Amino acid sequence: MADLRHLRAAGVSLVLDLTGGTLPRVLHWGADLGPDPDLESLRLLSLRQPIGNSVDGHVEVSVLPEQSAGWLGTPGLVGHREGADFSVALRVTGVEGSGDGVVVRAVDETAGLGAEVLVELLPSGVVRQRARVTNTGDSVFTVDALNLALPVPAEAVELLDFSGHHLRERAPQRTRFTQGLRVRENRTGRTGYDTAYVLAAGTEGFANRRGEVWAVHTAWSGNHRTFAERTFHAVSLLGSGELLLAGEGRLAPGAVYESPWQYGSYGAAGLDSVSARFHGFLRSRPGHPTSPRPVVVNTWEAVYFDHDLDRLKALADAAAEVGAERFVLDDGWFGSRRDDKRGLGDWYVSDEVWPDGLGPIVSHVTGLGLQFGLWVEPEMINEDSELARAHPDWIMATGGRLPRAARQQQVLDLTKAYDYILERLDSLLSEYDIAYLKWDHNRDLVEAGHQPGGQAGVRAQTLAVYRLLDELRARHPGVEIESCSSGGGRIDLEILQRTDRVWTSDCIDALERQRIQRWTNLLIPLELMGSHVGDGRSHTTDRLHKLDFRAGTALFGHFGIESDLTRVSAEDRARLTEWVGLYKSLRGLLHTGVSVHGDHPDPAIEVHGVVAGDGSDAVYAVVAHGTSEIYPTGAVRLPGLAADREYHVRPLAPGDVPDGNAHHWGNPLPWWTPEGVRVGGRALEVMGVQAPVLYPERLVLIRATAV
């Protein structure tokens, strides 16, 4: 019944051992083994000598590790039936091919459980797996955890994951991969700022373009757990699953619990090769955005809650003048929402601010040839709202008391308010010509339970959000939706099955954004990353930046503007128009090409860019985060080009002049002209090019086109 399976795709091999009637074990996940390896020999070679183990014989560690097999690390299935059946021994009853993978079915008749594990190797080379558990007994079985795991070799000696907070999302942190358990738990009820995001294990000193790397991501928008575990028995695992609150996993007889998808990406040549697989998977989806990503103007930092029709018309006029293609009306258009203390939940257009409805601003915007977008926050509620007064039991709570407010708001229980929210959003999308929803989510789910009993409700809330988004997309398939969560607090591969881009961070400070966008790009491609040009003085950090640095940073993403353009000088508006034009000319490359990041030795200098899939074209940014260790800046390598092709390399306007003064660094570089130079791709990656002097918080752009 069981056997050995070899799955191959895009330079990756996944070898599954299904012998012995137990759940699948991964014998190899990594570099391609070729078309016809002797799988039985590989199995024999992978068996460890059983010395000092917890049980006699070999300890088999499956993708759903079991203590019954002798594994005393983190179990795959944690649960019980009123204290009994705490350990399972699942025996395989069937194995079926499933496109790019296998479906394995198993039972434990003693524990009264059935299980199904799906393991796939997708065409991009990404491994994807999930598990289902069915209660086949005649009493309640409680699932406390369902953790899937992928093994990594002993050569993986370093770990990379992420921390962060509001305005500083996805900050990388490195640790050694030592014996023991490193666990990252997220209990915020959303994907979270302080989440592992991607957990990567790699060879010594792995970097953007060097070293072998194995990485996992948990595709879930609620509570979750990610871990790395290494034992003295030479087992190393990367694992993850949903973090279930008390009682959320109670299964009545016949009920099923399904884990989130776990995604794994192997890279033979550093983090960029890991990213390429994740990006390839996302771009292969049927619903992935393929139309040119429109230039966005969002009103939030321009007007905040000051919704005056004439002012907004003038802002839309200015947006059209600089070349914007989408105009988004942010918070403040509904109910009593004149500030952030009231009105959430009352999703009716405010008679006070918009006596004639949204029609006048929608028609003005669309009359300019722009799409109209609207901000909503359907999962939250202010206690000072008509909805809260009418349905106080719709506020998520533990029972008997409300959680402490955050941002003057509470969480709306979508398991109760689903029909109301669906009707309101459906009505708005039907009445007005709305092409885009900025879907926000501005607080953590603290003590999020269902009234009146107070049962934990984060899992049910997460599933209700998915169901709501799915239904709205089915009714309005042309409407795009952005996942915003106080900026970048809800970015994962499951929310991206239902949304068309993410708001990378509420921080639009270009210096902070350089790092935030770089590490967001580790998982998702640029076309899904909202990236805007803010005011000269950042609203979140008070730091002052020149326009070219702000626009050059926003270029590498889904470009937009978050500024009161009516107050921008004529000179800067003209310059911004140039940047908008550059984005439009490059977005075909930026949003289909391969993201690349150099490994420059100077921590003050960063090189990143995008190379066309066929190697025919590339654009790079050379960025100075601070003062360089050397003066002038020195040579920078241009990664990712075809080694056997010749390229026309030249500075790219308007990013060719970091300060608006072509000679501010003294004598210009000999090659820094529109004519540029011609040189081979191998030389550009090995020798690089001399870059102009860059003062801190400046950047320049370089274009390389095959000739």
CA pair distance 317, 297, nearest whole angstrom:
11
Cα–Cα dist 606/511, whole Å: 12
Tokens describing residue 608: 């990143």
Kindly report the backbone phi and psi dihedral angles of residue 639, in degrees, each rounded to the nearest multiple of 5, phi listed first: -80, 155
* 633 contact partners, CB below 8 Å, separation of at least 6: 605, 622, 624, 690, 691, 692, 693, 694
Classify the C-alpha dihedral 389-394-400-405 as positive or negative: negative
DSSP letter, residue 409:
B
Pairing of strands 480-483, 436-439: parallel
The angle that helices 414-431 and 458-475 make with each other, rounded to 10 degrees, is: 20
- Alpha helices (runs of H) in 285-397, residue ranges in sequence order: 300-303, 309-322, 359-367, 386-390
From the candidates 161, 330, 440, 617, give the one annotated as an active-site residue. 440
The Cα–Cα gap between 268 and 566 comes to 50
Q: In 103-244, which ranges are continuous DSSP H helix? A: none
CA dist 294 and 560 (Å) reads 8
Query: Do the bridges between strand 180-186 and strand 148-151 make them parallel or antiparallel, or are there none, so unpaired?
Result: unpaired
506 is catalytic: yes
Retrieve residue 232's tokens: 């003295």
Specify whether 330 is catalytic.
no
The answer to whether the beta carbons of residues 697 and 625 sit under 8 Å apart is yes
Residue of 33, 41, 91, 48 lying closest to 66 (CA atoms): 91
d(CA 96, CA 98): 6
Determine contact, residues 73/147, Cβ cutoff 8 Å.
Answer: no
| CA–CA gap between residue 577 and residue 584 (Å, rounded) | 11
Q: Which candidate in 108, 413, 500, 506 is catalytic?
A: 506
Enzyme catalytic residues: 440, 506
